[in-house]
């Protein structure tokens, strides 16, 4: 069996960048080239100043420093990297369609198809092509179709190797994965060989018993299912949080009590302002779309409710702020702490903060935003993209700060939207003193100490309390 010497990864984003950095670090004898159409992004990956890397992940800078230009390369020369590689990972974005059939629901596979066509055009030797991006079920067969009809004598093996890393803990998740899933053509010798070659790469650092192989469609569906189950847990506990707020129950106590049941387990039971991120909503929408296309409407409705509950939670949080501030936030200054969809990442895709901000802006609030990793430009891009009002109006009502005490000065309320550790250690007494009174805190992540906050004078509202 031929040993893999060169890997190419198409797409230098949140998945491609960190994944390839870990592979390069663990397999020093393999040359890994990450390519992207976006020249700026590649320049950022190649930047001397590691704070300029396009993805913020704890531990990533160290890996880049250790491996870049040794056996890890970032480039825009896609054709060359494809031509030289034995193995090609496709790690491009698959956003939800914003047009045509399946608009707002199906995944847009335009970028995947473009990659497949480019590989088909450029490849002169046999390749193993791996889908790494999260994709709807049966995408591999579409890729296969494009690749196998090139008639240039090159043979392609298609594998599905979904990524389970969570942002903010990507390097740890990649280094110590719960499992690695490889889907391929398990009924042919060539298929089995391709699976083995990929498995060998992972075996450089992952115990063999954690590497699972399945047929390609099971692999694709497992990824969607895993994310749907995780998102469903959050929507379930968020549904209970609403009930807790209406009664005397406390959602943290309920989570703890049910989490002790070993069948339920304690993880992923933190009630919040709503889940975000590039995967959960998109993957459930994909699941819903596929189910409907097979006329499984009950199945589709079931999963769709996970998203509806999440939308409700974001809206409910914003409405609670408005209601508590005496039913009007018109021209009241409100500080939003956190814009990223979770801590330890600069990613804002589908972040609850964007929607909470939009609701409050609709009510003519004046917002001041602080996030330790998200740039001002990104924050404006996110609110402007919703198209709810003009860019000028957004600029008039929203301000971004680099420092917490400026952010909160003169505000009527603070809403905690991301669970950044640094928020816990702020000088809350100083913050209280600089705010309008009564000073409200809406803790959308339940990270602050409620009794301490109340003792300082705040009117404190957690989620599900
Ligand atoms: C997720 C999956 O965890 C990962 O396996 C998959 O590869 C990609 O999608 P990610 O979106 O990066 O990862 O982050 P995750 O930690 O799953 O959090 C998703 C959202 O759920 C965040 O907004 C987070 O704040 C929220 N969340 C998570 C909660 O509200 N409560 C919880 O208990 C856990
Ligand atoms: P993910 O979270 O899945 O990694 P990102 O949006 O962070 O998604 O990254 C995907 C990357 O793929 C982007 O940098 C984008 O420029 C790149 N990309 C999209 N299509 C192509 C293509 N046909 N060839 C090369 N790169 C592409």
Pocket of ligand 1 (CB under 6 A): 163-167, 227, 230, 234, 268-270, 272, 275-277, 279-280, 341-342
Q: What are the start-end ranges of the E strands in 117-230?
A: 127-131, 156-160, 180-184, 211-215
Query: Could you give the C-alpha distances from 315 to 98, 160, 282, 328, in angstroms and in order?
Result: 23, 37, 19, 15
Tell me the per-residue pLDDT of 275-292, one tens digit each, with 9 for 90 and over: 999 999 999 999 999 999
Helix (H, G, I), strand (E, B) or coil at 87: strand
Return the residue whose CA atom lies nearest to atom 14 of ligand 1.
166
Q: Which ligand minimizes its atom distance to the CA of 348?
A: 1
The pLDDT assigned to 305 comes to 98
Nearest protein Cα to ligand 1, atom 7:
164
Query: 1 falls in which pLDDT band (50, 70, 90)?
Result: low
Query: How many residues are listed for the chain in this entry?
Result: 465
Q: Which two tokens stand for residue 173?
A: 């998740």
CA–centroid distance, 92 to ligand 2, in Å, is: 4
On the question of pLDDT at 152 being above 80, the answer is no
CA distance 407 to 370: 6
In the residue annotation, 115 being an active-site residue is answered as: no
Distance from C-alpha of 186 to C-alpha of 196, rounded to nearest angstrom: 11
* Residue 272 CA, closest ligand 1 atom number: 30
Q: Write down the catalytic residue from 8, 9, 244, 279.
A: 279
pLDDT of res. 109: 86
Give per-residue pLDDT as tens, 439-461.
999 999 999 999 999 999 999 99
* Cα 153 to middle of ligand 1, angstroms: 43
User: What are the percentages of helix, strand and coil residues in the chain, rounded to 5?
Assistant: 45, 15, 40
What is the C-alpha to C-alpha distance for residues 300 and 293, in angstroms, rounded to an integer?
Answer: 9
Does the structure show a pLDDT above 60 at 308? yes
For residues 248 and 47, what is the distance between their CA atoms, to the nearest angstrom? 53
Q: Classify the C-alpha dihedral 424-429-430-433 as positive or negative.
A: positive
Distance CA(278)–CA(163), nearest Å, equals 13
Structure tokens at 171: 């390097």
- The two three-digit tokens of residue 177, written as one number: 């994965």
| Residue bearing tokens 């400026």 | 406
Which residues, in sequence order, are bridge partners of residue 337? 370, 416
pLDDT in tens, 30-67: 999 999 999 999 999 999 999 999 999 999 999 999 99
Domains in the chain and their CATH numbers?
6-206 (3.40.50.720), 308-461 (3.40.50.720)
- Output the CA 223–ligand 2 centroid distance in Å: 19
Residue nearest to atom 2 of ligand 1 (CA): 166
Token representation of residue 157:
């093996």
Give the angle 206-210-212 at the CA atoms, nearest 5°.
Answer: 120
pLDDT score for 182: 97
pLDDT digits (tens, 9 = 90+) for 379-420: 999 999 999 999 999 999 999 999 999 999 999 999 999 999
> Does position 301 have pLDDT exceeding 70, yes or no?
yes
Percent of the chain with pLDDT strictly greater than 70: 100
Ligand 2 centroid to 76 CA: how many Å?
A: 12
- The span from the CA of 280 to the CA of 282, in Å, is 6
Name the strands in the sheet holding 31-35, side by side, starting at the edge strand that comes first in the sequence.
72-75, 31-35, 6-10, 87-90, 127-131, 156-160, 180-184, 211-215
Q: How far is the CA of 111 from the centre of ligand 2 (A)?
A: 8
Substitution candidate for ligand 2 out of 14, 36, 277 with most atoms within 8 A of CB: 36
Find, among 200, 192, 220, the residue nearest to 136 by Cα.
Answer: 220
Pocket test for ligand 1, best of 17, 166, 254 (most atoms within 8 A of CB): 166
| One-character DSSP codes across 302-370 | HHHHHHHHHHHHHHHHHHHHHHHTTT--TT-EEEEE--SSSTT----TT-HHHHHHHHHHHTT-EEEEE
Query: What pLDDT sits at residue 97?
Result: 86
Residue the block writes with tokens 């939670």: 313
Residues with CB under 6 A from ligand 2: 10-16, 36-38, 41, 78, 91-93, 111, 114-115, 133, 278
- CA of 168 from ligand 1 middle (Å) equals 10
Instruction: Return the ligand 1 atom nearest residue 350 CA.
Output: 23
What distance lies between CA 462 and its chain's CA centroid? 24
Q: Residue 241 and residue 457: Cα distance in Å, rounded?
A: 24
Minimum-distance ligand 1 atom for the alpha carbon of 170: 12
Hunting for tokens 């043979």 — which residue is that?
Answer: 155
Closest protein CA for atom 1 of ligand 1 = 166
If you search the block for the tokens 């090609």, which residue do you land on? 88
């Amino acid at each position: 069996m031929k040993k893999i010497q060169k890997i190419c990864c198409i797409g230098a984003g949140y998945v491609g960048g960190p994944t390839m950095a870990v592979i390069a670090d663990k397999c020093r004898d393999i040359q890994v080239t990450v390519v992207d159409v976006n020249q700026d992004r590649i320049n950022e990956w190649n930047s001397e100043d590691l704070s300029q890397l396009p993805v913020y992940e704890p531990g990533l800078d160290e890996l880049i420093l250790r491996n870049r230009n040794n056996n890890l390369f970032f480039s825009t020369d896609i054709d060359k990297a494809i031509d030289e590689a034995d193995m090609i990972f496709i790690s491009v974005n698959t956003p939800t369609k914003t047009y045509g059939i399946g608009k707002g629901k199906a995944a847009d596979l335009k970028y995947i198809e473009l990659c497949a066509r480019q590989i088909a055009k450029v490849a002169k030797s046999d390749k193993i092509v791996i889908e790494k991006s999260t994709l709807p079920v049966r995408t591999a067969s579409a890729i296969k179709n494009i690749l196998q009809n090139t008639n240039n004598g090159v043979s392609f093996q298609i594998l599905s190797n979904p990524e389970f890393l969570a942002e903010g803990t990507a390097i740890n998740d990649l280094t110590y994965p719960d499992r690695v899933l490889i889907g391929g053509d398990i009924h042919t010798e060539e298929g089995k060989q391709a699976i083995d070659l990929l498995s060998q790469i992972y075996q450089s650092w992952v115990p063999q018993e954690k590497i699972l192989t399945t047929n390609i469609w099971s692999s694709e569906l497992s990824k969607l299912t895993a994310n749907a189950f995780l998102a469903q847990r959050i929507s379930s506990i968020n549904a209970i949080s609403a009930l807790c707020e209406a009664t005397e129950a406390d959602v943290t106590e309920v989570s703890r009590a049910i989490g002790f049941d070993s069948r339920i387990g304690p993880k992923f039971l933190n009630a919040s302002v709503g889940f975000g991120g590039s995967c959960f909503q998109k993957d459930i929408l994909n699941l819903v779309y596929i189910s409907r296309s097979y006329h499984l409407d009950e199945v589709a409705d079931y999963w769709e409710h996970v998203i509806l509950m999440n939308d409700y939670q974001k809206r409910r949080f914003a409405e609670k702020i408005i209601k508590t501030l005496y039913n009007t936030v018109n021209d009241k200054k409100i500080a939003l702490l956190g814009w990223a969809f979770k801590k330890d990442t600069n990613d804002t895709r589908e972040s609850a903060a964007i929607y909470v901000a939009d609701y409050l802006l609709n009510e003519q609030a004046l917002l001041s935003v602080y996030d330790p990793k998200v740039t001002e430009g990104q924050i404006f891009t996110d609110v402007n993209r919703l198209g709810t009002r003009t860019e000028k109006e957004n600029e008039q009502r929203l301000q971004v700060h680099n420092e917490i005490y400026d952010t909160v000065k003169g505000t009527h309320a603070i809403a905690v939207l991301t669970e950044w550790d640094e928020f816990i250690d702020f000088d809350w007494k100083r913050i209280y003193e600089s705010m309008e009174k009564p000073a409200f805190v809406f803790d959308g992540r339940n990270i602050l100490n409620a009794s301490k906050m109340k003792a300082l004078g705040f009117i404190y509202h957690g989620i599900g309390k």
